[in-house]
């Protein structure tokens, strides 16, 4: 494992004293004893598995995070300074508008942006900023959202490459989304109804690309159209690099790289728009009341930014590389196992990653099975399955949210699973029946039933066909192994997709089982062969144009 370019591409940080005063506005917000109680000791397997863990009190098993900043497993671990600040903020009442003003100015001082705002997560910030651009801070308009009838501005332009599941926050305001793919389309799309332009930080928005942030800004600024860039998972740069590149506003997640409160977002940029965005958020009534951010999160987010500018990022990087070295040295003696470090140069999800690779047939386990083995058994470890290519399976271990000592637990568990002797995977059993034909499919969701249908084709153990759902028809692929069926269909619409993973058993002319819906949990299904018969009709074709209609 090579320790190359240890500090390559680290976030731009200010020269000491150039942007922020030397002291934190929080000062010593807690007592010495409280500080000591918040210092996190090194994790051991015994401490991680202790029955006193707060999650185990309610029967929930905690997870060691080798995935990165995924909200579904908690995002990030708040820094000690953040927890201290949130604890201090919990002891007094405060007028929230005054607090927002004070924090807005402090964030400006810290980051070099014109103003700052804390929202209830990054997606909520996108929603509030969209409301601000639609209303211009006019509360009479605000309380009418999402009915934008009569509004001067009700359109948001999004480059097609930036459509994503998080832009629901923008759509919730009721705006019309306008897609563009080229600078020419962007120029034509901008009109008096354009409230703002939204884009994400991606390869397509980088400098030099046809629809980069700089290009978009060059069309937007002469027309006074705000440009909002979503950089949720990126490292914070001081001063904010995207504002320098032409963005009007930049949106960060508080609970990702910055390690602030999980339920906070950091919005930086134009003061007038952020003041209107704050007006559109809780505690004010209107469409943003449902996105409440508390004084604890607001102060905690400010503390996270203060902590960020003081943190030794190079030391963190070196520490993370050391953890990966520990894991690599433990597992590479297993015959056929290789480990390679990747050091990302960009700002998104920026921490070293270890790619672990092996010959699937040699170890008789693939990357999905290894990830399931570690993720479902104690101590639970969440790592990423990267699939299989040319018989080589790969998983990845991301360091950014690992805690000291966990690298040893990970190394031991990986070694245990990879070095275990296994028999080759058995061949599939002969199918008990032929599933070819039409099936009436009943899906039981949490609080409703869906009547769908399947059209199945079967070739030995392999299944294909179509799944007709509530709004569309999509393809099906899967297997029948004896009396066990597993098949998948995927709904894909712009910015969203949902996988239906069916598993169940066949009994004569019925099937039943569960559907894994990813982040949307599970459903159950029953299916019966359809009694409707295919229509047989002889078709006659006229020799020419019709003589009557």
Task: Count CA within 13 A, CB hemisphere, residue 280.
Answer: 33
Asked if residues 415 and 339 have their Cβ atoms less than 8 Å apart, the reply is: no
Q: Is residue 41 very low, low, confident or very high in pLDDT (cuts 50, 70, 90)?
A: confident
Distance from C-alpha of 263 to C-alpha of 314, rounded to nearest angstrom: 27
Whether 256 has a pLDDT exceeding 50, the answer reads yes
The domains found in the chain, sorted by start residue, are 80-310 (3.40.640.10), 313-418 (3.90.1150.110), 437-529 (2.40.128.120)
Separation in Å, CA 168 to CA 72, 125, 126, 196:
18, 12, 9, 15
Q: What is the pLDDT of residue 348?
A: 86
Average pLDDT score over residue span 441-461: 97
Closest residue by Cα to residue 402 from 52, 160, 69: 69
CB-count burial class (<10 Å; 0-12, 13-18, 19+) for 446: exposed
What integer pLDDT is reported at residue 39 of this predicted model?
Answer: 60
Give pLDDT, residue 371.
97
Going by the DSSP 8-state scheme, the letter that residue 234 receives in this structure is B
Residues 520-536 have pLDDT tens digits of 999 999 999 998 877 88
Which pTM was predicted? 0.89
Which of 259 and 1 is assigned the larger pLDDT?
259
**What ranges make up the beta strands (E) of 296-370?**
338-342, 353-359
- Are 324 and 352 spatial neighbours (Cβ–Cβ below 8 Å)? yes
Confidence at 393, pLDDT banded by 50, 70, 90: very high
407-425 pLDDT per residue, tens: 999 999 999 999 999 999 8
What is the torsion angle, in degrees rounded to the nearest 10, for the CA atoms of residue 114, residue 117, residue 123 and residue 127?
-80
- Residue 126: which H helix or E strand, with range? helix 122-135
Q: In this structure, is the dihedral angle defined by the CA atoms of residues 128, 130, 136 and 140, taken in order, positive or negative?
A: negative
**Element holding 367 (H helix, E strand):** helix 367-376
User: What's the pLDDT at 230?
Assistant: 97
Phi, psi (5° rounding) for residue 441?
-115, 120
Please give the structure tokens belonging to residue 70.
């995924």
Sign for the CA dihedral angle at 239, 349, 221, 130 comes to: negative
Q: Which two tokens stand for residue 172?
A: 């919730």
Q: What is the per-residue pLDDT across 428-440, written as a single tens digit (0 to 9) for each?
A: 999 999 999 999 9
Q: What is the largest CA-CA distance in the chain?
A: 96
Q: What is the mean pLDDT of residues 302-312?
A: 97
Strands 194-200 and 227-230, by their bridges, are: parallel
Q: In this structure, which long-range contacts are made by residues 18-22, counting pairs with CB atoms below 8 Å and at least 24 apart in sequence?
A: 19/109, 19/110, 19/111, 19/112, 19/238, 19/239, 19/309, 20/109, 20/110, 20/306, 20/309, 21/109
**Whether the predicted pLDDT of 272 surpasses 60:** yes
pLDDT value of residue 8 = 35
The per-residue pLDDT of the chain, averaged, comes to 92
Instruction: Count the Cβ atoms, other than its own, within 10 Å of residue 356.
Output: 24
């Amino acid at each position: 494992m090579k320790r190359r370019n240890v500090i390559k591409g680290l976030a731009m940080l200010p020269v000491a004293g150039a942007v922020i005063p030397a002291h934190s506005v929080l000062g010593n917000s807690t007592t010495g004893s409280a500080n000591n109680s918040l210092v996190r000791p090194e994790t051991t397997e015994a401490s991680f598995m202790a029955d006193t863990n707060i999650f185990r009190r309610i029967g929930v098993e905690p997870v060691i995070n080798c995935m990165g900043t995924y909200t579904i497993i908690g995002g990030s671990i708040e820094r000690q300074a953040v927890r201290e600040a949130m604890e201090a903020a919990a002891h007094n009442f405060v007028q929230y508008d005054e607090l927002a003003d004070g924090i807005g100015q402090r964030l400006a001082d810290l980051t070099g942006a014109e103003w700052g705002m804390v929202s209830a997560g990054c997606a909520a910030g996108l929603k509030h900023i969209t409301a601000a651009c639609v209303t211009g801070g006019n509360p009479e308009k605000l309380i009418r959202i999402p009915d934008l009838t009569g509004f001067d501005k009700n359109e948001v332009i999004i480059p097609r490459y930036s459509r994503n599941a998080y832009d629901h926050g923008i759509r919730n305001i009721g705006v019309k989304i306008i897609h563009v793919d080229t600078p020419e389309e962007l120029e034509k799309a901008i009109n008096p109804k354009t409230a703002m332009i939204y884009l994400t930080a991606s390869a397509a928005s980088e400098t030099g690309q046809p629809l980069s942030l700089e290009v978009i800004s060059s069309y937007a600024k002469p027309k006074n159209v705000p440009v909002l860039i979503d950089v949720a998972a990126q490292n914070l740069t001081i001063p904010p690099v995207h504002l320098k590149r032409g963005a009007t506003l930049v949106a960060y997640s508080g609970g990702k790289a910055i390690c602030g409160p999980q339920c906070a977002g950091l919005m930086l940029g134009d003061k007038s728009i952020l003041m209107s965005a704050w007006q559109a958020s809780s505690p004010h009534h209107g469409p943003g009341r449902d996105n409440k951010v508390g004084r604890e999160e607001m102060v905690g987010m400010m503390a996270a930014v203060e902590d960020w500018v003081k943190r030794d990022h190079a030391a963190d990087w070196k520490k993370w590389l050391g953890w990966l070295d520990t894991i690599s040295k433990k597992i590479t003696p297993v015959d056929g196992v290789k480990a390679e470090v990747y050091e990302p140069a960009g700002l998104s999800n920026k921490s070293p990653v270890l790619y672990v690779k092996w010959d699937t047939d040699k170890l008789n386990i693939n990357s999905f099975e290894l990830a399931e083995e570690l993720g479902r058994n104690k101590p639970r470890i969440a790592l990423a399955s990267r699939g299989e290519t040319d018989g080589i399976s790969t998983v990845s271990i991301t360091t950014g949210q690992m805690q000291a000592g966990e690298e040893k637990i990970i190394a031991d568990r990986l070694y245990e699973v990879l070095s275990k002797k296994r028999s080759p995977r058995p061949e599939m059993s002969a199918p008990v029946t032929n599933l070819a034909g039409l099936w009436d499919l009943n899906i039981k969701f949490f609080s409703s039933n869906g009547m769908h249908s399947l059209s199945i084709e079967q070739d030995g153990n392999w299944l294909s066909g179509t799944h007709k759902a509530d709004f569309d028809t999509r393809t099906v692929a899967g297997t029948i192994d004896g009396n066990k069926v597993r098949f998948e269909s995927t709904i894909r619409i712009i910015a969203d997709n949902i996988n239906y993973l069916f598993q169940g058993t066949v009994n004569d002319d019925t099937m039943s089982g569960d559907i894994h819906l990813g982040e949307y949990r599970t459903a159950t299904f029953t299916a019966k062969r359809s009694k409707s018969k295919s229509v047989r009709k002889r078709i006659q074709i006229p020799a020419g144009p019709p003589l009557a209609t």
